[in-house]
Structure 1
Amino acid sequence: MEYLTKSEIAEIHDTSLKILDEVGMKWDNEEALKIFDNHGADVDFHEKIVKIPPDMVEKSIETTPSECTLYSRNKEYDIPMEDGEINFGPFGYANFVRDPETGKRREATAEDLRKLTKLVDTIDDWNFQYLQVTPQDVDPKINYLIAHAIQLKNSEKHLVAAGTSKRIVEDTVQIAKAISEDFDERPFLSFDHLTVPPLTEEKSTSAGLVEAAKRGLPVLVSEGVMAGSTSPVTLAGALAQSSAGALGALTLVQLINPGTPTLYGSFARIMDMKRGTVSMGGPEWILLKKAWSDLAEFYDLPNWYGCMLNDAKIVDAQAGYEKALSCLLASFSKKGLMVQCATIDQDRMCDFGNILVNKEISEAVLRIKRGFEVNENTLALNVIKDVGPGGSFMSTQHTLDNYKNIAWEPELSERGSYEDWEKKGEKTLYDKALTESLDRIESHQSPEIPEEKERKINEIIKEAKEDGEKL
């Protein structure tokens, strides 16, 4: 399913190259500036502006693997980034949660993150973890490091970590190595990196990008433009600028360590000019994501972006249609990592029940994406002849043999009679999702961490806290 034409893709690509070559990017990082300079880019060290020539960008795209595997501690959860493979998982960085007991908004805690990590661990088809919330009850200098430790201790799935500084990359790797001696052979970490729009790289986060690239760890690059605020309001212009920012970061990674797995991503969205807020559930968000997957296919790069984000403040009908539309279009990417949020309220608040609502939607969408076969068995002419006019197909061997492979069975959605629904307490889909989420958290056993490994992790966190550096 293509949204942009080939000529439109070529125009956007050409514009992105011109942005990087003629406008450039600001890199507030001396090491990054020197790397670009050593490879022949036009670097203004005083203004910290790097103008990247088109051939350097295109060579970097060529050295970026078109396919890769994101490893997990448990091999069952390895993620193949290859054609035809779409992988769903969580996202967020929310500062607030909707309390599952009171229904009121409050600040997110480390315990919330532990529970959310356990919940995602119960979803077999979601093969990676992401920071659903940023704990607000811990030392803010090291909250990301504490969050990474929580997730690494409570899940054997791949972790997409926050690459906010050189130190956070180093210490998160040390925690991962303390947990598993196999990390060097099977690194189960990647780091996400967000260019600050318009076209700016901050000192700390770019240092994290450099460190991850030196280690050859997978990185997820993107520029989260807001059309009308930090990029042109026109969607083509927003897309071209967002792609330029992502390609600029990708180029640095490949200059440092050619062949490093790099996922090409976007969080392009649009401003709501009437309210002064950003829209993360409207049709423009969805259009930008589908167009982005067309660009990723043009570059033959692994793709990643957020879907199922909401402007809605609770999990209601608005949240439902926003999720379904964005998830459906996202699924038609050729290959990629689809980070679907447990968040509502424009990515600010996490909701425990929301995660299983997202799971249900993503499963339905993947069933749509799978389509159906047309062959002698599925056309079933002989079965139609045997049953004949006025007959029933329910008891035929053909139905028994094929039903489970054809029909998707929801876990939460209501398909019974109205009377049955009344007898079960007239529960909404969200009611059932929240109850099931809390039950899963209560019953799920996280992987055991030996005492000596726990002690080593605590030492790494303690040293980081004592150094006083913001991670």
Structure 2
Amino acid sequence: MKIKVTFADQGSIEKIHEKSIYILENIGVIMQSKQACDIFRQHGAKVDGEIVYITRKMVEDALKTCQSTFEWYGRGNTLTVGGGESLVFPSYGPNYVVENNVMRKPDITDFKNFHRLHETSDVLHGGTPYILEPWEVPSDIRNNYRMATTLKYHTKPVMGMTAGAKSSKDAIDMTKAFYGVEDKVVLLGLINATDPMSYPRDMVESLVEYAMHGQAILLTAGGILGLSTPSSLVGSFTVNNAATLAGVVLIQLINPGNPVIYGCQGSSSNLTEITLAYGNFATAKSIHLTKAVANYYGLPSRSGGSINDAKEVDYQAGAETYSNLFASLSSGSDFFIMGAGILDTVNAVGTEKYILDELLIKGILTQLNDTSVDEESFLMKDIEKAGPGGNYINRRTSKYYKKEFYLNPAFNNCNTNNWVEGGSPTVMEKAHKLYLERLKNFSDPENTPEQIRLLDRYIPKEYS
């Protein structure tokens, strides 16, 4: 037995696809890059200034060359994207840290500590240079510092810089040199279509660099419902889908077969205040729809995460986070960032929230595990021995209990007397203690002399 959640039927998905094709053929998408416009023009697309009109055939031809799965190399292990497992990655872009429910500007220690958490996590599968903004590092060296620090602390696969052509090329070259490989997918670059149906110049430049070098690309259309996209879920999703498909076409024109992850979740909004509302419960629908449409196109998907709009770790944070994480995992999303720690509509990442989200993911995965109904799982011998009015207290705990039930170590599931005798700890206090223990037990990954020399080029001693 297994929980199954379905949202979009085939007919609905086909309607979304047809409307998306209409948008691409008749309304077009902005590419703020002469290079990208020239590539489209050379392949027969109509181009008017920066507006590109993409035909149905171009979309269909591009989808034919896309991979449904690909291998992503790290120095310690390789991940299969689209292989059936939901790959969880950390925060991407927060400006603040929340510790003990106090929001503050992060420092270099925070930047390094979150990398340490990612590397030691048994829930997250990799790292990213965008976990926080390392404000102390001068802006002219910050991009390479972020990438080098990410490589320093991770043996898991990592995402790369996408702040334009130079930062992307530097990240690709640095990672290949650090790993000592040339012909593997070593980075995943996040490319975001921001304005309605528009790719900014830095995003297009990064897309081109990653595609030219055979590196994986995560496409995400970031249209905001009711603000930069229509105020209906399906209307907003369709506009974002068209923008995402435009990115797919460009990638495949540059390098047919280049790995790409489909991301079309978009953003919920609070129209009473004209602001983002990622945590809105409607986001869960978009998460499921993203996976369904990705399956329709035969692409691995990105959607979801521990996203919420709470300013501190409170009831709102827990409810919204659970809604979106459950949707992420129950939909079978192949990949998602913002996997743990997110607060304040992705504006902040919390230390205790990070630990609690890791544990929440473990609990949700237990919910989604198969429940055994084979002959042995009924434990009939135990039932016969206990008989009417008996109990099972002294029986050996079965393997089924260990698989089917999860006790969260940060939660207070004990009886009241034991809780009081233990000092009446709060969930936040227990999570903070687990956070400190993780950092205390961390040891830097071993680096070769060659790797150390490479890192020293990009990490000044005062920030190491």
TM-score range relative to shorter protein? over 0.9
Distance 1:408 1:90 in 2: 23
Q: 8 Å contact 1:132–1:341 — kept in the other structure?
A: no
1:359 aligned residue = 358
Q: 8 Å contact 1:220–1:263 — kept in the other structure?
A: yes
In the alignment of these two chains, the number of paired residues is 454
Amino acid aligned to 1:353:
E
Distance 1:29 1:167 in 2: 15
1:469 aligned residue = none
**CA, structure 1 residues 456+167, in 2 after alignment: closer, same or farther (shift >3 Å)?**
same
Secondary structure at the aligned position of 1:97 is classed as strand
Query: Of 67, 70, 73, which residue of structure 2 is paired with 1:71?
Result: 73
The Cα offsets for residues 116-160 of structure 1, whole Å up to 9 and x where unpaired, read as 000111112311112221212222344333212111111111112
Amino acid aligned to 1:390:
G
Distance 1:16 1:52 in 2: 11
Distance 1:343 1:142 in 2: 27
CA drift at 1:408: 2.2
Distance 1:288 1:377 in 2: 40
Secondary structure at the aligned position of 2:160 is classed as strand
Distance 1:140 1:120 in 2: 24
Q: Do residues 26 (structure 1) and 26 (structure 2) align?
A: no
Q: 8 Å contact 2:90–2:340 — kept in the other structure?
A: yes
1:281 aligned residue = 279
CA drift at 1:451: 5.1
The Cα offsets for residues 399-453 of structure 1, whole Å up to 9 and x where unpaired, read as 4343323322323222111121122222222221122112211220121334553
Amino acid aligned to 2:280:
G
2:21 aligned residue = 17
Secondary structure at the aligned position of 1:408 is classed as coil
Q: 8 Å contact 1:134–1:143 — kept in the other structure?
A: no
**CA, structure 1 residues 372+42, in 2 after alignment: closer, same or farther (shift >3 Å)?**
same
CA drift at 1:391: 2.2
CA drift at 1:382: 4.7
Distance 1:299 1:460 in 2: 40
1:260 aligned residue = 258
Distance 2:236 2:163 in 1: 24
Distance 2:323 2:18 in 1: 29
My pick for the range that moved more, 375-384 or 267-276, is: 375-384
Aligned-pair identity (%): 25
1:172 aligned residue = 171
Query: Of 9, 13, 18, which residue of structure 2 is paired with 1:5?
Result: 9
The Cα offsets for residues 83-139 of structure 1, whole Å up to 9 and x where unpaired, read as 531122212311111245xx5322223321111000111112311112221212222
Q: 8 Å contact 2:287–2:331 — kept in the other structure?
A: no
Q: Do residues 295 (structure 1) and 297 (structure 2) align?
A: no
Q: Do residues 49 (structure 1) and 54 (structure 2) align?
A: no
**CA, structure 1 residues 341+143, in 2 after alignment: closer, same or farther (shift >3 Å)?**
farther
Secondary structure at the aligned position of 1:198 is classed as coil
My pick for the range that moved more, 358-367 or 154-163, is: 154-163
Secondary structure at the aligned position of 2:398 is classed as helix
**CA, structure 1 residues 422+188, in 2 after alignment: closer, same or farther (shift >3 Å)?**
farther
Unpaired stretches in structure 1, ≥5 consecutive residues: 463-471
Amino acid aligned to 2:94:
A
**CA, structure 1 residues 185+404, in 2 after alignment: closer, same or farther (shift >3 Å)?**
farther
Secondary structure at the aligned position of 2:401 is classed as helix
My pick for the range that moved more, 186-195 or 358-367, is: 186-195
CA drift at 1:199: 0.9
CA drift at 1:263: 0.4
Distance 1:83 1:188 in 2: 17
2:389 aligned residue = 390
My pick for the range that moved more, 238-247 or 141-150, is: 141-150
CA drift at 1:384: 2.8
1:147 aligned residue = 146
**CA, structure 1 residues 222+187, in 2 after alignment: closer, same or farther (shift >3 Å)?**
same
1:237 aligned residue = 235
Query: Of 219, 222, 243, which residue of structure 1 is paired with 2:220?
Result: 222
Distance 1:120 1:459 in 2: 24
**CA, structure 1 residues 351+435, in 2 after alignment: closer, same or farther (shift >3 Å)?**
same
Distance 1:452 1:128 in 2: 23
Amino acid aligned to 2:134:
P
Distance 1:360 1:196 in 2: 32
Distance 1:140 1:460 in 2: 13
Q: How does 1:89-100 map to 2 (within 5 A)?
A: 89-99=89-99
Secondary structure at the aligned position of 1:372 is classed as coil
Distance 2:225 2:152 in 1: 39
Query: Of 196, 199, 207, which residue of structure 2 is paired with 1:198?
Result: 196
My pick for the range that moved more, 120-129 or 141-150, is: 141-150
Q: 8 Å contact 2:369–2:404 — kept in the other structure?
A: no
Secondary structure at the aligned position of 2:330 is classed as coil
**CA, structure 1 residues 461+209, in 2 after alignment: closer, same or farther (shift >3 Å)?**
farther
Amino acid aligned to 2:365:
L
Distance 1:93 1:335 in 2: 21
Q: 8 Å contact 2:214–2:258 — kept in the other structure?
A: yes
Distance 2:23 2:395 in 1: 63
Amino acid aligned to 1:32:
A
Q: 8 Å contact 1:9–1:295 — kept in the other structure?
A: yes
**CA, structure 1 residues 414+461, in 2 after alignment: closer, same or farther (shift >3 Å)?**
closer
Distance 1:274 1:140 in 2: 36
Secondary structure at the aligned position of 2:235 is classed as helix
1:379 aligned residue = 378
Distance 2:22 2:178 in 1: 45
Unpaired stretches in structure 2, ≥5 consecutive residues: none
My pick for the range that moved more, 317-326 or 300-309, is: 300-309
Amino acid aligned to 2:97:
V
**CA, structure 1 residues 116+234, in 2 after alignment: closer, same or farther (shift >3 Å)?**
same
CA drift at 1:226: 0.6
TM-score scaled by structure 1? 0.91
CA drift at 1:387: 3.1
**CA, structure 1 residues 166+97, in 2 after alignment: closer, same or farther (shift >3 Å)?**
same
CA drift at 1:27: 0.7
**CA, structure 1 residues 142+288, in 2 after alignment: closer, same or farther (shift >3 Å)?**
farther
Indicate the RMSD between aligned Cα atoms, in angstroms. 2.0
**CA, structure 1 residues 135+431, in 2 after alignment: closer, same or farther (shift >3 Å)?**
same
Distance 1:99 1:291 in 2: 34
Distance 1:187 1:84 in 2: 19
